[in-house]
Amino acid sequence: QSVLTQPPSASGAPGQRVTISCSGSSSNIGTKTVHWYQRLPGTAPKLLIYNDNQRPSGVPDRFSGSKSGTSASLAISGLQSDVEGDYYCAAWDASLNGLVFGGGTKLTVL
């Protein structure tokens, strides 16, 4: 089991908005910032969101992140087939003294 909890799958029609949740605890999300990674088939993970809601340069604004308490969310609007892949949340865990990931959410565009 992963320290951070994500739904195993999410889906939406083209053009729609989808959100992916990530639940943790006071030792990780509750006190540390959350980041999100996208892994498209056959590629390395790519940073999508850092510091809860910041986008690295080059990441389009249809990706957005938010956090409240010990939970975080990634929202993707204007769904297109090019975003189909796996999405992972992560945060440093102060109790485990290491980086922890969610189990990943497979996004399908219907």
Partner 1 sequence: QEQLVQSGAEVKKPGASVKVSCEASGYRFVNYDINWVRQATGQGLEWLGTMNPNTGNTRYAAKFQGRVTMSRDTSRSIAYLELSSLKSEDTAVYFCAKVGDGSSPLSYLYYLDLWGQGSLVSVSS
The correct pick among 69, 78, 95, 99 for binding partner 1 (CB under 8 A) is 99
Torsion 38-88-99-29 (CA) sign? positive
Please tell me what DSSP assigns to residue 60.
-
Told to check if 20 binds partner 1 by CB under 8 A, we report no
Told to check if 100 binds partner 1 by CB under 8 A, we report yes
The correct pick among 22, 25, 27, 35 for binding partner 1 (CB under 8 A) is 35
Nearest Cα to Cα of residue 18 among 9, 29, 27, 28? 9
Nearest Cα to Cα of residue 86 among 8, 18, 3? 8
Told to check if 106 binds partner 1 by CB under 8 A, we report no
Residue closer to partner 1 by CB (options 14, 27) is 27
The correct pick among 33, 64, 73, 83 for binding partner 1 (CB under 8 A) is 33
Told to check if 63 binds partner 1 by CB under 8 A, we report no
In our burial notation (b when 16+ CB lie closer than 10 A, e otherwise), range 11-26 reads: ebeeeeebebebbbbe
Binding site for partner 1 (CB under 8 A): 2, 31-33, 35, 37, 39, 44-47, 50-51, 56, 88, 90-92, 96-104
